[in-house]
Amino acid sequence: MSMLRNLATSLVNARDERIITTLPKAKELRPFIERAITLSRRAKVLDGDNAAVEAVHLRRQASAFFHSGNRLQASSTGKRGGVRAPRTAGVLALKRLFDELGERFKDRPGGYTRIIKLGRRDGDNAEIAIIEFVDNPRERDAASSTAKGAKSATSGKTKTSFASKSGAAEGGRRGGHKADKTYEKEETTAARGGGEESIPKPEDSDKAGSGGRRSEKTESTANEKDTV
């Protein structure tokens, strides 16, 4: 029990919210620390007139999962009114358990920790593992960076497509005879006196050309008749 309390204190107070230990110890620590987190989670969802009293009761129950931090405080103080000794790691772990972890996991029904195997240790060949809290700050930072990268990639694609469309339209307006007619505005075409009506159609030109040849042939036939 003393070993489990030490491991629980180290895990709660760890900066990265993870510790490395042997796999059997990690498997024993997981249900031990999760029971303490369940007590802190219950304290966050209390309501009613006796909510404060029940929260104190849950805190006292959770203190059994850590070493007491006030047992030797009186003897270390010395004279009355002297400087009190700093709080031990067990008291700090209990405070963080109810202030931070209970608030984080208040909507989670269970599964507050995970175990990651690391293989076997050199020397005694013991199997070691990492036990850590889920939804830790490292995971949140990784998720936020991934979301930012996906958002920037999406915005980059949108900007590229918009630039290509605007470039095509600008090329249609400024490209002269090489410009694509699709991207030219109607008012621009009307202003320079162009348009579909001003462009002669191939059928009209063919008709005009055929009409001219027929008229010339008719005149030559009339002249031959007059000569005869």
pLDDT tens-digit readout, 97-131: 999 999 999 888 889 999 999 999 998 999 999 99
Of 32, 31, 29, 5, residue with least CA distance to 18: 29
- The answer to whether 79 and 21 have CB atoms below 8 angstroms apart is no
Would you state the pLDDT for residue 179?
Answer: 47
Highest mean pLDDT among 79-88, 146-155, 187-196 belongs to 146-155
Of 90, 91, 110, 88, residue with least CA distance to 37: 110
Burial class (CB in 10 A: 0-12, 13-18, 19+), 14: middle
Buried b / exposed e over 158-178, threshold 16 CB at 10 Å, is: eeeeeeeeeeeeeebeeeeee
Would you state the pLDDT for residue 184?
Answer: 60
Would you state the pLDDT for residue 148?
Answer: 78
The DSSP 8-state label assigned to residue 46 in this structure reads: -
Fold of 2-73+85-134: 50s Ribosomal Protein L17; Chain: A, (3.90.1030)
Would you state the pLDDT for residue 55?
Answer: 92
Rounded-to-integer distance, Cα 158 and Cα 154, Å: 6
Tell me which of 124-128, 140-144, 198-202 is least confident.
198-202
pLDDT of 59 strictly over 60: yes
Rounded-to-integer distance, Cα 84 and Cα 30, Å: 34
